[in-house]
Chain A
Amino acid sequence: MSSHHNSSSAASDPRQPSTANPYVPPMIAPQDLPVDYSGFIAIVFGIAGAMFRYKLSSWLAIIFCAQSLVNMKNVENDLKQISMAMMSVEKFGEIGEPNAPMMLAN
C-alpha cells in the first residue's frame, strides 16, 4: 500500500523514464461511436414540423438540436446529423407563425 511513500531512495523508485510512452488517442471508427439519440430526435421533430406544420414540433427539434450540440464529442462525425437537423428546423419549421396549429390542440 505504501509503495509510493519511499520514493526518496533511488533503489525503490518505481519511475522509469526510459519506458515512458506518450499518449496516443485510440482511433475510433464512425460505426463504433455511440448513437446520437438527441440528434436523431431533432431530425424527426424537424421533419414532422416541416411536413405537418406543427410549431411545437419545430421548437422541440431546436431544443433537441441544442442538446445534441452540447453533448457532441467527435465534431467531424456528428456534424452531418446536427447540420441536417438545423436545416430541417430552419428551412421548413413553422416556428414563428402565431396561427400555426398546435400539435395538442383540441
Chain B
Amino acid sequence: MSKRSSSVWLAPLPSLLFLRGETLWYYLALLSVLSLLGQELTRSSVLASSDFEGFGDEADDDDLSESLQTSHLPLRSSLSPPILTQSHFESDPEPPQQSPPPSDPTPPKPSSSIPFDFWDEDEFEGLPIETPPQNPQSPENSTPPASESDPKSTTKVSPSLRSYTVEIVCVSFLIAFIFNYFTGKRENENIALSWASRFAIKDSIFEKNFSLLGTGDGKDTPLLLKEGQNVFKFYASGRRFCQGLLATMELQSRHDLISRVYNLIVPCKDEITFEVYMNEDAMDQVVFALAKKKAAKVMHKEVMDLQRYANLVSAPNNRKWVVEDLAVISESKEVAGDLISETVLDQVFGDKAFEKFGKGFISLHFSDQHVGTHRKMLLFKFALTDANHMADMTRLVALVPYYIDLIGRYKLSSQARSKTEAARSKAAQEAYKELLNARQEALQKRKADRKKMMEAEAKLSAEVIRKKEEKERSRQMKKGKPKVKMTRAH
C-alpha cells in the first residue's frame, strides 16, 4: 500500500522536470519576475539602511546627497573625518566630550581647512556616531513664515520616486499588456466560435454541403483549429467537384496591446478567406476575379495569373451587371458573363442587394493557374462582422457552395477554349524561354569565372611558374625512381 501511494505521489515529478510548450514559458516568466523582484528588494534594502558603521543619515546633508545623486558611491558622513595621526600621546586618555547640540538647525559643514592626507574613505572604524540635531519648536514658532520656507523643498520630487519612474511606467504597461492579452484572446475566440456556431454546426450551410467537418478525421473532433491567438482555421471535405475547403479567419491582434493601439491609428478588419481546392477534371480553364475597384487594380498588377491571362472587363450594355463599386477581371467576356449570373446579382452583387448584404465582400478569385500545390482553386475573401451580427454574412457564405457547383459544371465554348489554350501555350513557351535564359546566364557566369582564373594564373610571374615546374619535375622524378622495399632480417 505504501509503495503504491509513493508511486502516486512521485508520478507528476517527471512532468514537472521536463516542461514543454507554454508551461515552460509561464514558469520562465514567473522566474524572471521573481528574480527582478528579488534584485529590487535587495538593492532598496541596501540603499535604505543606514545601520552600517560610519554611515550617516541622508537627510542631514541635502547638498551632499544632491551632488552624489548620480554616482553609485555610498553617502559619506557630513562630519569632518578625525585626524588619525597625532603628534603626542596622552597617558590618560579621556572619553570624547560630547558638545551640546547647537541651536542652529543647519548641520555644520565640513571645514576645508582640515587636511585629508591621512583620511581613508574606506575606513569605517572610529567614526563618531552622528546624532541628528533635535530642535523642539515652541508652540509660538509652530507656523514659520512663508519667507523662511525653502521654495525648492516644496517642488522637489523625492529622489527615490524619480529614479523609479521608468520601472513604474514599464511595469504598469506590462500589467496592462497581460490584462489585454486575456481580454483580447477571449474576444477573438468569441468571434471565431460565433462564426462556427452559425455556419459549421448541425443543419448549417457547411454541414449540408460537406460530409467531413473539422480538422480531425473522427466524429467528435473540434471544428476550429487555432493556429495563433488571432488565426483560426476551419476545414471541410467530402463534396462533389472539390477535394476540400479551408476557411482561415485572420482576426485583429486584439490580444496584443501594441497592435491594438496601432489598429486604432490604422484600422483593419477581421477577414475570412475560403480556399476551395477543386478536382482536376471538375474545373475548366477559367481565370476570373471580382473585387472593389482599387483592390482589383492592385490584384491585376500583383497576382501572377491575373496579370498573365486576364484583363479588366467593362460592363455590357444589354444586361444587368455588378455594382459600380466593383470591378471584374476575366480572361474573356464570355466567362465573366457566365459567372456573374442573374442569381448572384439578385442575391449579392446587384445594386439593391449589395447595399444590404455585400458590406463584408472583399474579393473573389477563381483560377486554374494558381501558383502552389493546388493549381485549380477558388478564393473567397470576406470581412467578418462582429459576434452578434454573424447572420449578415449568410448570403456571402452561400456564394461558396454556389460557385463550387457553378464552376464544377461550367464548360467553355469552343471559341473561348481556343483562346485560352493559345494563351496558356504562349505562357508555357515564355516560361520555357525564361528557364533557358537563366541556364545560359549561369553558363556565361561560369565561363567568365574560368576566364578570370586563367587571367590570374597568366599574371603570375615567370619565377613562380618556374618553381611550379621544378616541383612537378621533382615529383615525377620521385615517381620514376624504382621503389626499394626494406625488410629487416630477424
**A residues in contact with B173, CB < 8 Å:** 63
Tell me the chain B residues, 10-52 only, with Cβ under 8 Å from chain A.
Answer: 21, 25, 28-29, 32, 35-36, 39-40, 43, 47
A62 and B237 form a contact (CB under 8 A): no
Given A69-B25, A70-B255, A99-B70, are A3 and B402 also a contact pair (CB < 8 Å)?
Answer: yes
Q: Is B55 an interface residue (CB 8 A)?
A: no
CB nearest to A89 among chain B residues: B32
B401 and A4 form a contact (CB under 8 A): yes
Q: Categorize the interface residue count of chain B.
A: 35 or more
A23 and B235 form a contact (CB under 8 A): yes
Proximity bits, A88-99, B CB within 8 Å = 1, else 0: 011000011111
Tell me the chain A residues, 62-106 only, with Cβ under 8 Å from chain B.
Answer: 62-63, 66-67, 69-73, 75, 86, 89-90, 95-99, 101-102
Question: How far, in angstroms, from A55 to B253 measured CA to CA in the complex?
Answer: 28
A99 and B163 form a contact (CB under 8 A): yes
A4 and B398 form a contact (CB under 8 A): yes
Question: How far, in angstroms, from A63 to B166 measured CA to CA in the complex?
Answer: 13
**B residues in contact with A25, CB < 8 Å:** 225
CB nearest to A21 among chain B residues: B237
Interchain pairs with CB closer than 8 A, number = 135
Identify whether the interface residues of A are mostly helix, strand, loop, or mixed: loop
Question: How far, in angstroms, from A19 to B241 measured CA to CA in the complex?
Answer: 10
Q: Is B332 an interface residue (CB 8 A)?
A: no
A13 shortest CB reach to chain B, Å: 8
Question: How far, in angstroms, from A68 to B178 measured CA to CA in the complex?
Answer: 13
A62 and B170 form a contact (CB under 8 A): yes
**B residues in contact with A30, CB < 8 Å:** none
Given A62-B170, A96-B36, are A16 and B239 also a contact pair (CB < 8 Å)?
Answer: yes
Given A62-B174, A99-B72, are A15 and B211 also a contact pair (CB < 8 Å)?
Answer: yes
CB nearest to B235 among chain A residues: A23
Question: How far, in angstroms, from A73 to B212 measured CA to CA in the complex?
Answer: 26
**A residues in contact with B128, CB < 8 Å:** none
B251 shortest CB reach to chain A, Å: 13
Q: Is B344 an interface residue (CB 8 A)?
A: yes
CB nearest to B239 among chain A residues: A14
A1 and B43 form a contact (CB under 8 A): no
Question: How far, in angstroms, from A86 to B255 measured CA to CA in the complex?
Answer: 21
Q: How many residues of A contact B (CB 8 A)?
A: 42
B39 and A16 form a contact (CB under 8 A): no
Question: How far, in angstroms, from A70 to B166 measured CA to CA in the complex?
Answer: 23
B238 and A19 form a contact (CB under 8 A): yes
**B residues in contact with A73, CB < 8 Å:** 227-228, 231
B170 and A3 form a contact (CB under 8 A): no
**B residues in contact with A89, CB < 8 Å:** 32
**B residues in contact with A101, CB < 8 Å:** 70
CB nearest to A82 among chain B residues: B25
A70 and B243 form a contact (CB under 8 A): no
A1 and B72 form a contact (CB under 8 A): no
B375 shortest CB reach to chain A, Å: 15
Question: How far, in angstroms, from A20 to B21 measured CA to CA in the complex?
Answer: 32
B436 shortest CB reach to chain A, Å: 27
A21 and B243 form a contact (CB under 8 A): yes
Tell me the chain B residues, 424-477 only, with Cβ under 8 Å from chain A.
Answer: none
**B residues in contact with A69, CB < 8 Å:** 25, 29
B205 and A4 form a contact (CB under 8 A): yes
Question: How far, in angstroms, from A14 to B229 measured CA to CA in the complex?
Answer: 34
Question: How far, in angstroms, from A101 to B166 measured CA to CA in the complex?
Answer: 11
Centre residue among A1, A25, A67 by max chain B CB count within 10 A: A1
Proximity bits, A7-25, B CB within 8 Å = 1, else 0: 1000000111111111101
Those 9 A-B pairs whose CB atoms lie nearest each other, nearest first: A20-B238, A98-B163, A22-B217, A59-B170, A20-B212, A17-B211, A23-B235, A23-B215, A15-B211
Query: Which B residues are within 8 Å of any A CB, using their own CB?
Result: 21, 25, 28-29, 32, 35-36, 39-40, 43, 47, 69-72, 160, 163-164, 166-167, 170, 173-174, 177-178, 181, 205, 208-212, 214-217, 225, 227-229, 231, 235, 237-240, 243-244, 246, 253, 255-256, 258-259, 343-344, 347, 373, 398-399, 401-402, 404-405
17 A-B pairs whose Cβ atoms sit less than 8 Å apart in the complex: A14-B404, A21-B212, A21-B244, A22-B237, A56-B170, A59-B167, A63-B170, A63-B173, A63-B174, A66-B174, A96-B43, A96-B167, A98-B47, A98-B163, A98-B164, A99-B69, A99-B70
Contacts A15-B238, A86-B32 aside, 16 further interface pairs with beta carbons under 8 A come to A1-B347, A14-B209, A14-B239, A16-B211, A18-B238, A22-B212, A22-B217, A22-B237, A23-B225, A23-B246, A59-B167, A60-B170, A67-B259, A72-B228, A96-B40, A98-B160
